[in-house]
A and B are shown apart, each in its own frame.
Chain A
Amino acid sequence: MTEQSFTFDGRPVAFRSGQSLGAALTAAGVRSWRTTRADGRPRGLFCGIGVCFDCLLVVDGRPNERACLQPAAAGMQVESQEGTGHGHLEV
Chain B
Amino acid sequence: MGTSRSDRVHDVVVVGAGPAGLAAAGRAAALGADVALVDGAAVPGGQYWRQPADDALAGSVASLHHGLARYRRLVERVRGIEAAGGWFPRHQVWTVTREEGTFVVLAITGTGAEEREVGIRGRRLVLAPGAYDRQVPFPGWDLPGVMTAGGVQALLKGHAVTAGRRVVVAGTGPFLLPVAAGLAESGATVAGVHEAASPLAWGRHIGAVVRNVAKLGEGAGYVRTLARHRVPVRTRSVVVAAHGEQVLERLTVARLAADGSVLPGSRTTVAADVLAVGWGFTPQLELPMALGCATRVDVDGSLVCTVDDQQRSSVEGVFVAGEACGIGGADLAVVEGEIAGAAAAGTPLTDRRLLRRRLALRRFAAAMHAAHPVPTGWIDRLTEDTVVCRCEEVTVGRLRSALPLGADDARSAKLLARPGMGWCQGRVCGYAVSCVMSAWTGVPPSPVSIAARSVASPLRLGTVAATEDPSSAAES
A interface, CB within 8 angstroms of B: 1, 16-20, 22-24, 26-27, 31-32, 36-39, 41-54, 56, 59-60, 62, 65, 68-71
Contacts and interface: CB of A to CB of B under 8 A. Distances in A.
Contact of A19 (B52, B143, B144, B423): B52
A45 B147 contact: yes
B145 interface: yes
Nearest to B149: A48
A62 B112 contact: yes
What bracket does the count of chain B residues touching chain A fall in?
A: 35 or more
Interface of B: 40, 42, 47, 52-54, 56-58, 111-112, 132-133, 142-148, 150-155, 158-161, 163, 246-248, 273, 390-393, 422-424, 427-428, 457-458
The 3 closest A-B pairs by CB, nearest first: A48-B151, A18-B54, A23-B159
A44 B424 contact: no
A1 B150 contact: no
Contacts, number: 122
A52 B424 contact: yes
A48 B147 contact: yes
Given A62-B112, A70-B111, A53 B423 contact: yes
B391 A48 contact: no
A31 B424 CA distance: 21
B163 to A, nearest CB: 6
Majority secondary structure of chain B interface residues (helix, strand, loop or mixed) = loop
Contacts of B40: 50, 69
A51 B428 contact: yes
A15 B165 CA distance: 18
Contact of A46 (B47, B151, B246): B151
Contact of B147 (A20, A46, A53, A62): A46
A31 B145 contact: yes
Contacts of A26: 155, 161, 163
Given A18-B57, A19-B161, 14 more contacts: A16-B160, A17-B57, A20-B158, A27-B161, A31-B144, A37-B393, A39-B393, A46-B146, A46-B148, A50-B457, A51-B427, A54-B390, A65-B111, A70-B111
